[in-house]
Chains A and B, each alone.
Chain A
């Protein structure tokens, strides 16, 4: 017994050291940008960031870069990002939960086939359908004079569609674990499917809905491509603005750094606050790209 604890103790020390090395490696690049964003512009470009870190007391720390960044459009972009992200999280949630109900509890022809198709669609890259969707929207605009591109709504629709396969898959997997007897009992009592879904299944599926919501929220918040194609410059989201900023190095690293961290604050809060649900979602297979 003594021998085992001895071995385990050695193992523990080695593991702690190994993990420390990994964590330092993993955090350093982020730390560098964070430190830079907090320095005055006069020194940020001429002295390396680690000098500030080694002499934290003799360094001037300032939030100027954040103020600058917010004033020069990042605040507007933050609002645009929220306006794109919140509906693009809630809409697919509702639509997919409805569809998952049909796939789990109702019978129709070709159910298994359509579900297999959905799983296969999870792999298809977004790029494969963006150009036709974009041209379709432009043609629609010309024909009916209703603006679609450059609005939040077009991004909601496209994000919702791309979320479908994964969301339906996760929700169906979860709904299959719910007790069937409960639904049967409700049917015997004369409840319609509509009532069963909204009053019974949806409330019981909250854990699955929550983990998918976090996942979709982070995905849409961090997306560049769909925002670039469908929302574009008029209502530039943060990833869009950040990429433009990164393209012009003349701006200096400090402004890019502050912009990056403004775009990171909300996802990081969501992430650390709800990490448990996020992990649960990951384990249920929520990964897309």
Chain B
């Protein structure tokens, strides 16, 4: 009970304090002479956000880059040693390969499923459309951890002779094949692909909803004209609709791509990075929280940031695209 009370008090105090902060800032600014006040008004609006961003995002980011050149305890300079160690370690190269596979597979599959379901749902009538969409969209509300439990259960494996509880193995058995501990199978990176299925499952809803709204904005006349000319539904979709929504499809692709680069929770929850499924963001976690190696952990995350840098440019493009839409 005291927990609930404490929580409530914390919530009220936290929120009131933040309002008080802006009131105080404005109060101090209003004490200044008018000429300066008009010029420095913006400070009272921007300072809290700027302090947060600099202290929690930008400053620490530079600190991480600096630490990536230091030893495990972040005490002595070691130059490029951490990077050399990483790139000469076969395990790390496997991790990079995994990240590459995630980036190669997940955005493309997600966007393909999203576009297909958007196009299909557009033709089933409004009532069914909203039910179907809600069900596919639902995973968006689920945490990565809960999604991992759902899918771990789906993939689960029991010792031979005991009743199957995992659906995948039950299906495999029903068609006469050997049941498998799927998440341990790294032949051809099978287990990594099974983890990718989870993120596809989570993200298709997003992709569908955004692309669907673009499809609805396609001018009706262009479609009707093509149909009168005798175009098949496939032709209408690929030659009329798809080119008009391509910009949106690409911006969804970039968003999912950025998400996938940083993929972490699912690997942690489902395999803990074992059986060759580790990725960069998980390797960071392992280096720091399991081995307390600050230098190497910082180097891993610096590599991740460098790989993500080109996507910043794409992100700014997407931002422009969004701005052009409104």
A residues whose Cβ falls under 8 Å from a Cβ of B = 4, 7-8, 11-12, 15-16, 18-20, 22-23, 26-30, 32-33, 36, 45-50, 76, 79-80, 82-83, 86-87, 90-91, 94-96, 98-99, 101-103, 106-108, 116, 118-133, 136, 152-153, 156-158, 160-162, 164-165, 168-169, 173, 177, 192-194, 197, 218, 221-225, 239, 242-243, 246, 253, 256-257, 259-260, 263-264, 267-268, 270-272, 275, 278-279, 282-285, 287, 289
Contacts and interface: CB of A to CB of B under 8 A. Distances in A.
A102 B42 contact: yes
Contacts of A289: 258-259, 262
B255 A132 contact: no
A118 B53 contact: yes
Given A19-B128, A253-B165, A158 B146 contact: no
Nearest to B63: A132
Given A98-B48, A169-B319, A164 B53 contact: yes
B150 A30 contact: yes
Q: Which of A46, A106, A257 has the most CB of B within 10 A?
A: A106
Contacts of B86: none
Given A29-B153, A270-B141, 11 more contacts: A19-B124, A26-B204, A27-B135, A50-B167, A91-B14, A98-B46, A131-B294, A197-B45, A267-B141, A282-B206, A287-B255
B134 A272 contact: yes
Q: How large is the interface on B (under 10, 10 to 19, 20 to 34, 35 or more residues)?
A: 35 or more
The residue in B26, B49, B227 that gathers the most chain A C-beta atoms within 10 A of its C-beta is B49
Given A173-B322, A242-B145, A242-B149, A101 B123 contact: no
B42 A285 contact: no
A153 B142 CA distance: 24
A173 B321 CA distance: 12
30 contacts: A12-B123, A15-B122, A16-B128, A19-B117, A19-B121, A22-B117, A23-B132, A26-B201, A33-B153, A80-B3, A94-B22, A99-B50, A102-B45, A108-B46, A118-B53, A120-B315, A124-B57, A128-B60, A129-B56, A129-B57, A131-B64, A131-B294, A173-B322, A193-B45, A194-B26, A239-B146, A242-B143, A242-B149, A264-B142, A285-B322
Main secondary structure of the interface of A (DSSP, over half): helix
Nearest to A218: B141
B61 interface: yes
A26 B201 CA distance: 7
A278 B209 CA distance: 11
A173 B146 contact: no
Contacts, number: 312
B102 interface: no
B250 interface: no
A82 B7 contact: yes
A36 B166 CA distance: 11
Interface string B111-132: 0010011001111110010001
A187 B269 CA distance: 54
B57 A162 contact: yes
B238 interface: no
Given A98-B46, A99-B46, A279-B209, A91 B60 contact: no
A121 B52 CA distance: 13
Interface in B89-124: 113, 116-117, 120-124
B311 A257 contact: no
Interface string B6-42: 1100110011001100100010001000000000011
A246 B183 CA distance: 14
A89 to B, nearest CB: 10
A29 B120 CA distance: 22
B191 to A, nearest CB: 16
A98 B49 contact: yes
B22 A101 contact: no
B264 interface: yes
B316 A125 contact: no
Given A116-B316, A125-B301, A243-B145, A94 B19 contact: yes
B307 to A, nearest CB: 10
Contact of B227 (A4, A50, A223, A282): A4
B144 interface: yes
Given A28-B167, A122-B315, A242-B149, A263 B139 contact: no
